[in-house]
Amino acid sequence: MQHDLSPEQLQQISEALIAGRKIEAIKVYRTATGSGLKEAKEGVEALSGQWLTEDPEKYQALVSTGSGGCASMILCCGSLGWGVVELLKSVG
């Protein structure tokens, strides 16, 4: 699946991922390879998985921002919902 990327392009993708800018990394990949959005996303995810395995400390941002957004939002909304239920119990 991976297209031939120059060392400079790989560096740009790497730097974007380290900085937590996955969308930027996907844009660089798309521009460099001419691939579609889905293929570019999969390509960047493959690269990030490889790099994370090779150097976990350097790519720690991939772990901390990986899916925490959705999970955090679910937990936040769940807690908020529970608070509203408790408030309604005390009023009613």
Torsion of CA 13, 15, 19, 23, to 10 degrees: -20
In a domain, 75, yes or no: no
Q: 53 or 72, which is more confident?
A: 53
Q: How many CB atoms within 10 Å of residue 2?
A: 13
**For residue 71, is it within any domain?**
no
Range of the domain at 11: 7-65
Residue 28 lies in a domain: yes
Residue 24 lies in a domain: yes
Domains in the chain: how many in total? 1
- Is 52 a member of any domain? yes
Buried b (16+ CB within 10 A) or exposed e, 24-34: bbbbbbbebbe
Q: What is the pTM of this model?
A: 0.64
Nearest to 12 by CA among 2, 4, 27, 62: 27
Distance of CA 78 to the CA centre of its chain: 23
pLDDT in tens, 20-62: 999 999 999 999 999 999 999 999 999 999 998 998 888 777 7
Please give the share of the chain, as a percent, with pLDDT higher than 90. Answer: 50
Q: What is the pLDDT of residue 50?
A: 92
Query: Which has more confidence, 7 or 72?
Result: 7
Range in 4-8, 16-20, 79-83 with the lowest mean pLDDT: 79-83
Q: Is residue 19 part of a domain?
A: yes
